[in-house]
Homo-oligomer: A and B are copies of this chain.
């Protein structure tokens, strides 16, 4: 018996480590829109050479999480209003479907966990912690959608989140909120009641809510 060089679940290769690191950073809005990145800088930061750094960056570019100029320079994208509207519509479409599929499988333990996350959101919101809010909000949604048992849909959904990451940071950063999102309570209530139309409406409202603030 020898040591296994590979942790079975995650972090197998160097480029994957870089990919995950950059991905969560973008997803949580820890990078402002328009910020520039360099391959050598990323490699230095993660302790790898340029090759895995380039692979991770190219993958993120392919997913729309980063944008690349014609000369190959990489930066986080600054989204146009039309694109934001489009991505919000995609979120609404996919997340409503995911919630709907999760509904029949949602038992009490899941609802308790969602409520715990929602209370945690109230805490970080009162502390003006934009990154913490985004992370907790995504965790709320992901916890619910995991129950849908639809990995392809969830992956698509997370790709959309990824594209909206830096913009959401800018949005919630300049927003002064002191109350948790009201629609989360509606989502939990609809889950408890087994009310599918109500759940679809609540999720759609929660997703679309962020878009409206941007029009101001």
Contacts and interface: CB of A to CB of B under 8 A. Distances in A.
A97 B93 contact: yes
A170 interface: no
Given A152-B83, A153-B86, A94 B93 contact: yes
Nearest to A96: B93
Interface in A136-152: 149-152
Given A55-B58, A62-B62, A156 B70 contact: no
Interface string A79-90: 000110011011
Contact of A152 (B6, B87, B153): B87
Contacts of A156: 90, 156, 159-160
Interface residues of A, number: 31
A195 interface: no
A83 B83 CA distance: 28
A83 B55 CA distance: 27
A163 interface: yes
17 contacts: A12-B70, A15-B58, A54-B55, A59-B59, A62-B62, A64-B155, A82-B149, A86-B150, A86-B151, A89-B150, A89-B153, A90-B152, A90-B156, A93-B94, A152-B163, A156-B156, A156-B159
